[in-house]
Structure 1
């Protein structure tokens, strides 16, 4: 009884800390949704309330969709994020398998280089990537938005850690059955590492869906702009200081990510806890 009584206050404090942290994270999103359904006159009032006195959501969301190429920006985001994720898995999974299950000279050095690459912010490579993109003529194309992210050090690390947790006997049995090394990767390892794949997919899609820095450098044509860059164009050209439609557009852009995470949260947690920390 004394042990349970001692643990109860710890549990209460732990849950209180989690709730406070969640509230701090959710407040900006709730505020964004609140502004997206308010008329201009209520947005800059000295007294703030989450619920509007006059519901203005239909007007704001209609402006967000019709007065800017919002759907085009989102389509660009889907094309870019889907292509990046597919190429990253195609490159990172075999590389991670080699680092986890194959023995060859320099394997530990290569893994150390992957860890070093994890520490480097992508902005460090922006200038050489821009020059390379100019030299090969891919600026202002989808390729310019996709090419720099094909190889993901984080993806290699995450898959490698998950593959390390799979018993070597599984690999040996697959080889005895006649599978090639690539066959083992795609038919054995990837299905067993589905939680890690989902976790990496969420990280990848969220990161590149929200990426502003590189698209701001790589593309200038409005037809190629992904959602964050398109939002800047919407803000400057269409909405001006009309923050209601701007917040409505931001809500529409964020909503697919929220839905995707809610649908995949169990696999996301399993992928992080089951692979990355082993």
Structure 2
């Protein structure tokens, strides 16, 4: 009985996720007159995608978003790996207190820090840049916690054997710990890329020009026209922005699921 309820709940959640996507696909591939009504005789068209691409500099928005998620993910991997290794294997005064302060960040919503982050970016003189959009996220408390827990499961004998062979601390980290935590890196990377690809509020506040705006902020162009809202063009633009993530998931869904399963087991 419990299994049947779980299955039913999964189907309901899947349906709630699928319906908005189905509507977006329907409206994007049909003329505007059919965006709000279902008609099997409605003609298919790619005009909405062409109009959406021409209405905004999507090429620049895609480049900005790609640079943003790549920069943030690279910084998070480096900083979180070093911090997690220190918390997992080093013994120093105040280690537990510092780790508790890191965990405290998990309880603070990023939006609470927007004002202070804006002041900091102004003081640094980097407002309206891709760097300013990503800088507040370079260190991730969740990433540190996840990798620290993973590194603690690595047997110390492996590290000791590597040290006996003459490996340095850096070599032990990169040759022993990092390869064993590869599924965790994949799982965390998916979460990070998805979050920063879809993040809207902070990029909207800190950027003012096309040269630094990501896709999510660029989409507001379609909701601020004087000619009213054309849902067909809006859904086409939304699908354009979401297409890379959807395609990546469809191509690598097996690897995605396996990575998250291994992350949960650890």
Q: TM class, shorter-chain normalised? A: over 0.9
Match of 2:33 among 41, 56, 66: 41
1:25 aligns with 2:20: no
TM-score after normalising by structure 2: 0.92
Deviation at 1:181, TM superposition (A): 2.0
Which deviates more, 75-84 or 161-170? 161-170
1:198 and 1:264 in contact (8 A); partners too:
no
Deviation at 1:235, TM superposition (A): 3.0
1:131 and 1:10 map into 2 onto residues whose CA distance is: 52
1:1-278, aligned counterparts within 5 Å? Answer: 9-45=1-37, 49=38, 52-237=40-225, 240-275=228-263, 278=266
1:276 and 1:12 map into 2 onto residues whose CA distance is: 23
Deviations 1:68-111 (A, max 9, x none): 11222111110100111001101001111111122222221122
Aligned residues: 266
Backbone CA RMSD of aligned residues: 2.0
Deviation at 1:238, TM superposition (A): 8.8
* Residue matched to 1:3: none
2:78 and 2:227 map into 1 onto residues whose CA distance is: 40
Quickly say closer, same or farther: Cα 1:238–1:226, change in 2 above 3 A: farther
Gaps of 5+ in 1: 1-8
* Residue matched to 1:5: none
Structure 1 runs (4+) greater than 4 angstroms displaced: 237-240
Quickly say closer, same or farther: Cα 1:236–1:166, change in 2 above 3 A: same
Quickly say closer, same or farther: Cα 1:276–1:178, change in 2 above 3 A: farther
1:238 and 1:30 map into 2 onto residues whose CA distance is: 28
